[in-house]
Amino acid sequence: MKIIEITKLSKNYGDFQAVKEISFFVEKGEIFGFLGPNGAGKTTTINMLTGLARPTSGEIIISGQDGVKDIKKVQRIIGIVPDESNLYDELSGFDNLVFCASLYGMGRSEREKRAWELLTRFGLDDAGKRPFKAYSKGMKRKLTIAAGIIHEPEILFLDEPTTGIDVKSARQIRELLKALNEQGTTIFLTTHYIEEAEWLCRRIGFIVDGNVIKVSHVDDLLREAQKENIIEFTIEKTSAVLKSSLLERFPGITIKKVSDHSVRIGSTEKIELMPFMKFFAANSIKISEARIIRPSLEEVFVKITGIEIEKLKAENEGKKKWKKL
């Protein structure tokens, strides 16, 4: 059953078209991942779905209601966790949750009970009376997620929930999201972390330059990618000559230079290791490692979006801007 249905949704900012007639749907009870590089249109799409941006054209149906005209009705059944922990610094964790609950019309005893329940569930009960500004980044993120589900929404929108927090907190958040989904909450997730999407999501939509270019089940994406056999060789030095010699000797393979010292050889057929070892030995190239690569969602992402993994990682860490290849 479709709980979110988007048809030909577009958003223009002056002459710039941030989202270009995208159409896809999210099924009730699933975790749907929405992936793409920076500036691809992920946040603009979430903003349109949650009522923080007005679509230029197109249709949004959320739980049977018009997400453009009746956005205030829709906001009653959705929860939103923005990419920034935007609760109130001066209020305690408990007061923040109680305040957020009151915006959804929850009675006093109900909202206080729910706030403590969530603080306990998120491991924040000891910090419940501390001001939000005294929380660590991970704690802030957890409380922001708790605020997003205080009114028990049918659908939860999460924009980069684990960006910029420590590994332990990120893992806890993923576990919490999984548990939340198992209890019936539909989750719409955007993330830079491909492994997070692979672990959490049932289906994934890829957005690049404002276009949704593929929507598929994670299992199908992986199955498709794993049709190809890949071996990565770590050698002394790669070169253009090496590439042409390999192609000449082993027609039908694909070669990808990973770094100055490693090369990936791919084939739809099973790859025998020995002929390659002999080839490198005959050409006096020392091999320090040979390993089978099992394509993950990262490779799928690279293939679909054309974004190099290294650049994506650098982008995740905020070290440099991505460049489309």
List of residues contacting other proteins (CB under 8 A): 13, 47, 50-54, 72-73, 75-76, 80, 82, 84, 86-91, 99-100, 102-105, 147
Maximum alpha-carbon separation in the chain? 79
Please, which residue, 99 or 199, has the CB nearer to other proteins? 99
Q: What share of the chain is helix, strand, coil (3-state, %, to 5)?
A: 40, 30, 35
d(CA 43, CA 123): 29
Q: Identify the helix (H) or strand (E) that includes residue 290.
A: strand 287-293
Question: Helices 218-225 and 297-305, interaxial angle, to 10°?
Answer: 80
Query: For residues 38 and 296, which CB has a smaller minimum distance to other proteins in the complex?
Result: 38
Residue closer to other proteins by CB (options 20, 214) is 20
Rounded to the nearest whole angstrom, what is the least distance from the CB of residue 122 to other proteins in the complex? 18
Closer residue to other proteins (CB): 48 or 304: 48
Q: Which tokens go with 23?
A: 């159409």
Q: Which is nearer to other proteins, 14 or 251 (CB)?
A: 14
Q: What's the closest the beta carbon of residue 123 comes to other proteins, in angstroms?
A: 23
Q: Are strands 211-217 and 262-267 parallel, antiparallel or unpaired?
A: unpaired
CB nearer other proteins, residue 136 or residue 268: 136
CB-based contacts of 143, cutoff 8 Å, min separation 6: 85, 87, 93, 96, 97, 122, 124, 132, 135
Least CB distance to other proteins at residue 143 (A): 12
Question: Whole-number minimum distance, CB 65 to other proteins, in Å?
Answer: 12
**Distance of closest approach, residue 92 Cβ to other proteins, in angstroms:** 11
In angstroms, give the least distance from the CB of 269 to other proteins.
51
Residue 235 to residue 254: CA distance in whole angstroms: 17
**Cα–Cα dist 225/241, whole Å:** 28
Strand, coil or helix: what is 273? helix
- CA 221, CA 224: separation in Å to the nearest integer? 5
Nearer to other proteins, 80 or 149 (CB): 80
CB of 146 to other proteins, least distance (A): 13
Residue 53 vs 213, nearer CB to other proteins: 53
Gap between the terminal Cα atoms of the chain: 38
Q: How far is CA 149 from the centre of its chain?
A: 19
CB of 90 to other proteins, least distance (A): 5
Alpha-carbon distances, residue 298 vs 145, 226, 246, 303, 312 (angstroms): 26, 12, 26, 9, 10
Which residues have C-beta within 8 Å of that of residue 183, sequence separation ≥ 6? Answer: none
Tell the smallest beta-carbon distance from residue 289 to other proteins (Å): 47
Of 51 and 266, nearer to other proteins (C-beta) is: 51
